[in-house]
Amino acid sequence: MAISVPLNPQPVLSLLPPYPIVLVTTGANIITINQVAYFTFSPLRVGIGVAHTRYTYGLLKKTWAFVINVPGADLLEAVRLCGSVSGRDGDKFARAGLTQQHSDLVPAPGIAECGAWIECRVDREIDFEERTWFVGPVVAARRREGHEGGQALMCGREAYTIPGPVVGPR
Ligand SMILES: Cc1cc2nc3c(=O)[nH]c(=O)nc-3n(C[C@H](O)[C@H](O)[C@H](O)COP(=O)(O)O)c2cc1C
């Protein structure tokens, strides 16, 4: 028997499986993001959805570039902090105890403690009522030796999770 779900964001979105959580750097600020997706393969374009109220929104409008930093479960506290405090109120690298690292091709630092770094330039903006998707080509990508996407942090219905066991080949 199928059960109706109220048409509010939380009840509907919680029907989906856990989704990735990343730390995005733009300018020298960090924001926790779950709206991250790839848009095209050739060229490889990725995008992030950013609410207009975020400090990050203004920084993206100025710099047109960002780094997707992939955290592991060891960075859970930093993920919480960067998702609840605004860069308008201080330096999140300092508050979260994170280290800036040089990026190859974009004017935004990476986060040294993360496992992988994807540098992106913005070539498209898709505007919605209260947020904009910033989309563009990946211009550089690096990973820490030993890092795999399967170790990454995810957000489930009520808690943060990590990917579970493999259940079959693709
Ligand atoms: C798990 C999690 C996921 C989030 N995902 C997004 C997102 O995809 N887009 C967004 O605009 N804000 C998202 N947020 C909220 C921002 O991270 C938060 O408002 C942050 O403090 C904004 O920082 P800023 O003002 O320095 O840009 C998320 C927060 C959490 C905790």
In a domain, 170, yes or no: no
pLDDT score for 1: 92
- Report the alpha-carbon distance of residue 15 to residue 35 in Å, rounded: 16
Task: Output the CA 103–ligand 1 centroid distance in Å.
Answer: 22
Structural domain boundaries enclosing 63: 17-145+153-161
What is the greatest pairwise CA distance in the chain? 54
In a domain, 126, yes or no: yes
In a domain, 89, yes or no: yes
* Token pair recorded at residue 91: 């330096």
Q: Of the given ranges (5-9, 34-38, 50-54, 58-62), which has the lowest mean pLDDT?
A: 5-9
- Is the per-residue pLDDT at 75 higher than 80? yes
Atom of ligand 1 lying closest to residue 29 CA:
26
pLDDT score for 10: 87
In a domain, 3, yes or no: no
Task: Output the CA 23–ligand 1 centroid distance in Å.
Answer: 9
In a domain, 166, yes or no: no
pLDDT band at 146 (very low <50, low <70, confident <90, very high): confident
Question: Considering only CA atoms, which of 79, 27, 87, 26 is closest in space to residue 54?
Answer: 87
- Report the alpha-carbon distance of residue 75 to residue 18 in Å, rounded: 18
Q: Of the given ranges (30-44, 67-81, 122-136, 143-157), which has the lowest mean pLDDT?
A: 143-157
Gyration radius from the chain CA atoms: 16
Atom of ligand 1 lying closest to residue 131 CA:
11
For the chain, the domain total comes to 1
In a domain, 120, yes or no: yes
In a domain, 83, yes or no: yes
Asked whether the beta carbons of 109 and 59 are under 8 A apart, the reply is: no
Q: Tens digits of per-residue pLDDT, 113-140?
A: 999 999 999 999 999 999 999 999 999 9
- Is the per-residue pLDDT at 153 higher than 80? yes
- Is the per-residue pLDDT at 79 higher than 90? yes
In a domain, 4, yes or no: no
CATH of the domain at 84: 2.30.110.10
Task: Output the CA 31–ligand 1 centroid distance in Å.
Answer: 6
pLDDT score for 158: 86
Question: Considering only CA atoms, which of 65, 74, 84, 75 is closest in space to residue 24?
Answer: 65
